[in-house]
Structure 1
Amino acid sequence: MKQIYFLRHSIRDSSVHHEHAPLTIEGQQLARQLSKFFIDKQIKQIYSSPFQRTIDTVKPTADQLALAIQTVDSFSERRVGEWVADFDSFSQSQWLDFDYKHLNGESHSMTSKTVSIRLLKVF
């Protein structure tokens, strides 16, 4: 049976206010620790969004398993809109109301319709 593991990126450097923010030092350490989990999982392929923080999250695992990271442009995050200083509150609002969004942003309702299509294109 085929198993697919989905990961969210490790701790992002929130002082960088754009989508290509790297991981924090702690986020990098956690990514290295995560690679230990996958040692015996028989991983054959690794896919990532093109965001630096997602690539950096899976890189230690890819290096350990001698696998290339295949970036998939359609693996993107929802658009938040303007910069959100208190992302935890914003995220909580989005989980409580799937139609909640900021100006020029996307709600969970808007993005959930395209997720299965994106996955089907890859797999």
Structure 2
Amino acid sequence: MTSIIFVRHAHSTYTADERNRPLSAEGFQAALNVKNVLEAVRIDRFVSSPYLRAVQTIQVAANARGMEIEEIELFKERLLAGAPVDDFNYAIQKVWEDETFAWPGGESNQAAQARGAFALKQILNTYAGEQIVIGSHGNLIALIMNALESTYSYDFWKRLTMPDVYKLDFVGEQLDAVTRLWRE
């Protein structure tokens, strides 16, 4: 049995620089809550998107255990479009309605999902039998979970909180169980 504990990042302070967007004061407080939730769980390693807000959300928990965080580029958030969109809600709904559609300069659901599912498969094969925390982003987590089971859809993504923590248990590469450990 291998367990993946997906942690959606906490609230961040908006900047146009996606990679270096930091947590807000509220987000740092929520990261402490994530640490408290993870204290009850055996953790063999921490992995994260390289985006600062994802790293910061799990950093407190990793520090408390004296563990490093391995950053993996493939777990970064999906790029919705190459430039800011006028109506985010419409833009995100459109890509979920048509998995092959991509806004100019952005990733389709299909492309982002394939990237995320590939990264997950690598983790499952490399760290079989371990419990791994993966700090990532709501849209990518939802797309990865959707690749495993179609019930994790646009509506699931909309219900995710910042942060949110889901534990996925696998037998080999086969999803066996999903448990929500905590939500903000």
Normalised by the length of structure 1, the TM-score is 0.84
Please state if 1:120 is matched with 2:121. Answer: yes
Q: Could you say if the C-alpha distance between residues 76 and 69 of structure 1 is closer, same or farther in structure 2, counting changes exceeding 3 Å?
A: same
Q: Which residue does 1:83 correspond to in 2?
A: 84
Distance in 2 between residues matched to 1:65 and 1:105, nearest whole Å: 37
Residue type of the alignment partner of 2:18: E
**51-60 or 19-28, larger mean C-alpha shift:** 19-28
Q: Which residue does 2:102 correspond to in 1?
A: 101
Distance in 1 between residues matched to 2:63 and 2:88, nearest whole Å: 31
Q: Could you say if the C-alpha distance between residues 24 and 86 of structure 1 is closer, same or farther in structure 2, counting changes exceeding 3 Å?
A: farther
Task: Give the 3-state SS of the residue equivalent to 1:46 in structure 2.
Answer: strand
Q: Which has the higher contact order (CA 8 A, sep 6+)?
A: 2
Q: Could you say if the C-alpha distance between residues 12 and 100 of structure 1 is closer, same or farther in structure 2, counting changes exceeding 3 Å?
A: farther
Q: Could you say if the C-alpha distance between residues 94 and 35 of structure 1 is closer, same or farther in structure 2, counting changes exceeding 3 Å?
A: same
Instruction: Describe how 1:25-36 pairs up with structure 2 within 5 A.
Output: 25-36=25-36
Could you tell me whether the CA contact under 8 Å between 1:35 and 1:60 is conserved in 2? yes
Could you tell me whether the CA contact under 8 Å between 2:102 and 2:108 is conserved in 1? yes
Residue type of the alignment partner of 2:17: H
Task: Name the structure with the higher strand share.
Answer: 2
**69-78 or 21-30, larger mean C-alpha shift:** 69-78
Q: Could you say if the C-alpha distance between residues 7 and 89 of structure 1 is closer, same or farther in structure 2, counting changes exceeding 3 Å?
A: farther
Q: Which residue does 1:110 correspond to in 2?
A: 111
Q: Deviations over 1:16-63 (max 9, x none)?
A: 112121111111111111111111201110001111111101011111
Instruction: Describe how 1:1-123 pairs up with structure 2 within 5 A.
Output: 1-14=1-14, 16-20=15-19, 21-80=21-80, 81-84=82-85, 86-122=87-123, 123=126
**89-98 or 73-82, larger mean C-alpha shift:** 89-98
Q: Could you say if the C-alpha distance between residues 19 and 89 of structure 1 is closer, same or farther in structure 2, counting changes exceeding 3 Å?
A: same
Q: Could you say if the C-alpha distance between residues 103 and 60 of structure 1 is closer, same or farther in structure 2, counting changes exceeding 3 Å?
A: same
Could you tell me whether the CA contact under 8 Å between 2:74 and 2:116 is conserved in 1? no
**78-87 or 66-75, larger mean C-alpha shift:** 78-87
